[in-house]
Chain A
Amino acid sequence: SQKIEQNSEALNIQEGKTATLTCNYTNYSPAYLQWYRQDPGRGPVFLLLIRENEKEKRKERLKVTFDTTLKQSLFHITASQPADSATYLCALAGSSNTGKLIFGQGTTLQVKP
């Protein structure tokens, strides 16, 4: 069955460092992958989308890579700030463009000042 794995352990880093979060998947060939931020008690907020034929995408301090051979996406936050502390979710979508997303369980990032 399709499976998405994100590191369930919280990631604690110092302010100013680069945070790197991992999303691995099996038994799936996504057309695109998305990263979301979720704060406690709130809905997810869209951050970045990367398509299967793209290797890397950047937006301000955020960078996403997508390796369809390794079946892995890496999400980087450079120059991290305490305000970046949240849970980050990766979500995969198939090629039929139904819009249906399969979410990973999320990784909680804690940036310490």
Chain B
Amino acid sequence: GAVVSQHPSRVICKSGTSVKIECRSLDFQATTMFWYRQFPKQSLMLMATSNEGSKATYEQGVEKDKFLINHASLTLSTLTVTSAHPEDSSFYICSARENWISSYEQYFGPGTRLTVT
């Protein structure tokens, strides 16, 4: 099946610094990728839709200037958490869909655990 990777798997950073998380589709091309955040014991919350070659679409309440998304190629999307604060500590997960119109399945990455100290 389709594989999505994320890097790093976990990162600890100091408050005020920026962190970049990569999401790659390894064996398929993905025009669209999605970024989710999951707090402990809670569900996945969609943060933004990442579109290759265009600006990301952010969900209501998600600060686009804080969570910068770049989707520069059909296999790579990056999420940069800028000026991170302890409340940004969470589990960040990306997903991708294959590039054919009748594909509804999404493949998720293994997630990135961000801890801001």
Q: Which residues of A contact B (CB under 8 A)?
A: 32, 34, 36, 41-46, 49, 89, 93, 97-106
Contact = CB atoms under 8 A, between A and B. Distances in A.
A99 B101 CA distance: 11
A89 B43 contact: yes
B113 interface: yes
B36 to A, nearest CB: 8
Given A99-B32, A99-B34, A100-B34, A105 B108 contact: no
Given A99-B32, A100-B49, A44 B104 contact: no
B93 A44 contact: yes
A93 B34 CA distance: 13
Contact of B113 (A34, A41, A100): A41
A104 B106 contact: no
B44 A89 contact: yes
B6 to A, nearest CB: 8
Contacts of B113: 41
Contacts of A102: 46
B62 to A, nearest CB: 13
A32 B104 contact: yes
Contacts of A104: 43
A99 B111 contact: no
B28 interface: no
A33 to B, nearest CB: 10
